[in-house]
């Protein structure tokens, strides 16, 4: 029987199997950041265990960093301490760190692919659930807890039971104005937030084949929002072209050898999956969420469904929405374009293209937070910053920012925010804040109109 992409990468990384138990899985790349690593460093130090393979670890500061005045000392003492500990720990253990202000600094899931750390066929982990992003390259990449960060520090391995396999196929022609974010929000709205739990998901079909690497990353990023530990897309010419020439990518003949290997990775025709779903691209429209988990999404033109489940009602009550109502024309005061889901150059190009020649509505605060220093530089070099400045949008410095509001970028109590991030949980963007997930195009249109509009109608 044939093997799936996931089988091929997983099986080639199994060091050994414990009888009636988990497998020892070898991890090629370990990404770390300031929030989920300090306790792991402490644990190893207390137990007198050295870091096994420091050269396979890459560190960045992103979750807890300010997006203004990054050249100045950080005001918040706890945040400052967390960043200082990261710097000390990396220095002590010879780990490469791209700290705040460095030209390669950025959100871990934006900067690692940019630097070519992310490559097909690798196993990658990070103490962050959106590590699934890197699966866009045909890597097995998933989020881990801090105890597991310590395990990888100590052994470059994890003890894991192989997950089951799931494939989501989307074929057909996407409509005008439907972005990768809409595709994944659509899939999650159909399958729910726990449909992928216990599974690794492969995305297949011409829709993903035709997507850019940025788009594939947006899709794989949100795999965890349907419960799947990771999502993968078969590596192809788009992948190879993206990786080629990047700082940590294999060079010259070595690269060609790797490409020959990467070409063997896609799922065999006769491979089978434990679960399969398929959707028609033509059914997908610009999406929007109305509740407090990412599965609570609708087409922007649809009305909020009715459901008697108490958790569903609690969710609508938190959002101050009524079952059956439409979100079109809802006034919105905050718009956030950023996060590891949608803060790559392509996302800002889409937004700028829409915004060009328009102005943001007077009631709106619109934050644009690039995923990395490199994206920030590109925004300036391509002239997008001028478009944003002219329209009254605020371009900030890179970081996770208002996606999880660990820093000062918080949405006020009771306010709605149309956000390109990945989670609309209660209080995710600040205590009492109400998040509406959408694509960068829908977010840009909302900022210009000051309310939610049916973008498809405007475009067609």
Task: Pick one of 7, 52, 99, 172: the residue that binds another protein (CB under 8 A).
Answer: 52
The helix/strand/coil state of 332 is coil
Residue among 112, 117, 108, 124 at smallest CA distance from 27: 124
Was 403 annotated as part of a binding site?
yes
* Binding range to another protein, per CB under 8 A, among 105-113, 146-154, 328-336, 384-392: 146-154
CB of 350 to another protein, least distance (A): 27
Whole-number Cα distances in Å, 213 to 8, 70, 157, 275: 21, 29, 28, 25
Work out whether 394 is an interface residue with another protein (CB under 8 A): no
Residue among 74, 7, 62, 12 at smallest CA distance from 37: 62
Was 340 annotated as part of a binding site?
yes
Task: Pick one of 75, 94, 102, 145: the residue that binds another protein (CB under 8 A).
Answer: 145
Task: Pick one of 20, 55, 320, 460: the residue that binds another protein (CB under 8 A).
Answer: 20
Beta carbons of 201 and 232 less than 8 angstroms apart: yes
For another protein, the closer of residues 1 and 78 by Cβ is 78
Distance from C-alpha of 38 to C-alpha of 86, rounded to nearest angstrom: 7
* Binding range to another protein, per CB under 8 A, among 33-41, 170-178, 235-243, 325-333: 33-41
Task: Pick one of 66, 121, 135, 399: the residue that binds another protein (CB under 8 A).
Answer: 121
Work out whether 38 is an interface residue with another protein (CB under 8 A): yes
Work out whether 144 is an interface residue with another protein (CB under 8 A): yes
For another protein, the closer of residues 188 and 375 by Cβ is 188
Work out whether 405 is an interface residue with another protein (CB under 8 A): yes
Beta carbons of 171 and 207 less than 8 angstroms apart: yes
Work out whether 187 is an interface residue with another protein (CB under 8 A): no
For another protein, the closer of residues 118 and 446 by Cβ is 118
Beta carbons of 284 and 183 less than 8 angstroms apart: yes
CB of 121 to another protein, least distance (A): 5
Task: Pick one of 57, 108, 112, 150: the residue that binds another protein (CB under 8 A).
Answer: 150
CB of 218 to another protein, least distance (A): 18
Q: Are strands 287-289 and 297-299 parallel, antiparallel or unpaired?
A: antiparallel
E-strand spans in 357-440? 365-368, 394-395, 416-419, 434-437
Task: Pick one of 65, 151, 221, 397: the residue that binds another protein (CB under 8 A).
Answer: 151
C-alpha dihedral (252, 258, 259, 261), degrees to nearest 10? 150
Q: Give the x/- contact pattern for another protein in 233-262, rule: CB under 8 A.
A: ----------------------------x-
Residue among 379, 351, 423, 293 at smallest CA distance from 106: 379
Chain-centroid distance, C-alpha 413: 25
First to last CA, the chain: 47
Q: Give the x/- contact pattern for another protein in 195-234, rule: CB under 8 A.
A: --xx-------------------------x--x-x-----
Structure tokens at 30: 């370990």
* Binding range to another protein, per CB under 8 A, among 22-30, 205-213, 271-279, 335-343: 22-30
In the range 281-320, which residues lie near another protein by CB under 8 A? 293, 309-311, 314
Please count the helices (runs of H) and the strands (runs of E) in the chain.
Answer: 16, 19
Work out whether 68 is an interface residue with another protein (CB under 8 A): no
CB of 392 to another protein, least distance (A): 28
With tokens 């429209």, the residue in question is 285
Distance from C-alpha of 345 to C-alpha of 351, rounded to nearest angstrom: 10
In the range 315-354, which residues lie near another protein by CB under 8 A? none
Residue among 231, 240, 246, 233 at smallest CA distance from 262: 240
User: Number of residues in contact with another protein, rule: CB under 8 A?
Assistant: 73
Quick one: which H or E segment has residue 6?
helix 5-11
For another protein, the closer of residues 277 and 425 by Cβ is 425
Work out whether 180 is an interface residue with another protein (CB under 8 A): no
Binding region for [4Fe-4S] cluster: 340, 400, 403
């Amino acid at each position: 029987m044939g093997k799936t992409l996931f089988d091929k990468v997983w099986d080639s990384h199994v060091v050994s199997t414990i009888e009636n138990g988990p497998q020892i899985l070898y991890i090629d790349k370990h990404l770390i950041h300031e929030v989920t690593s300090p306790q792991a460093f402490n644990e190893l130090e207390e137990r007198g265990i050295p870091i096994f393979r420091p050269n396979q670890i890459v560190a960045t500061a992103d979750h807890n960093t300010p997006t203004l005045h990054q050249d100045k000392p950080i005001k918040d003492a706890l945040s400052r301490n967390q960043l200082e500990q990261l710097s000390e720990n990396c220095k002590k253990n010879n780990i490469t760190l791209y700290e705040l202000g460095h030209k390669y600094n950025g959100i871990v899931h934006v900067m690692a692919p940019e630097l070519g750390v992310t490559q097909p066929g690798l196993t990658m982990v990070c103490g962050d659930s959106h590590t699934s992003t890197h699966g866009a390259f045909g890597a097995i990449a998933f989020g881990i807890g801090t105890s597991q960060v310590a395990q990888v520090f100590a052994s470059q391995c994890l003890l894991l039971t192989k997950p089951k396999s799931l494939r989501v196929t989307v074929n057909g022609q996407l409509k005008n104005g439907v972005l990768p974010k809409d595709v994944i929000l659509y899939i999650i709205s159909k399958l729910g937030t726990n449909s992928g739990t216990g599974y690794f998901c492969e995305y297949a079909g011409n829709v993903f084949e035709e997507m850019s690497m940025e788009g594939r990353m947006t899709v794989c990023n949100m795999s965890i929002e349907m419960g799947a530990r990771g999502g993968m897309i078969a590596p192809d010419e788009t992948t190879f072209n993206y990786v080629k020439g990047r700082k940590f990518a294999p060079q010259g003949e070595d690269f060609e050898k790797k490409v020959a290997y990467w070409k063997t990775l896609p799922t065999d025709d006769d491979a089978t999956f434990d679960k399969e779903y398929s959707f028609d691209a033509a059914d997908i429209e610009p999406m929007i969420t109305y509740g407090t988990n990412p599965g609570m999404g609708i087409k922007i033109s649809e009305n909020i469904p009715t459901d008697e489940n108490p958790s569903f009602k609690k969710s609508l009550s938190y959002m101050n929405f009524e079952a059956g109502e439409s979100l079109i024309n809802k006034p919105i005061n905050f718009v956030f374009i950023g996060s590891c889901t949608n803060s790559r150059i392509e996302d800002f190009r889409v937004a700028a293209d829409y915004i060009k020649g328009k102005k943001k509505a007077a009631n709106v605060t619109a934050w644009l937070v690039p995923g990395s220093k490199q994206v920030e530089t590109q925004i300036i070099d391509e002239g997008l910053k001028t478009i944003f400045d002219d329209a009254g949008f605020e371009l900030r410095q890179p970081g996770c920012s208002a996606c999880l509001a660990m820093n000062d970028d918080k949405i006020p109590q009771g306010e709605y925010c149309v956000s390109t991030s990945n989670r609309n949980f209660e209080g995710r963007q600040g205590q009492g804040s109400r998040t509406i997930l959408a694509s960068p195009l829908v977010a840009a249109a909302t900022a210009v109109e000051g309310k939610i509009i049916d973008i498809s109608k405007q475009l067609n």
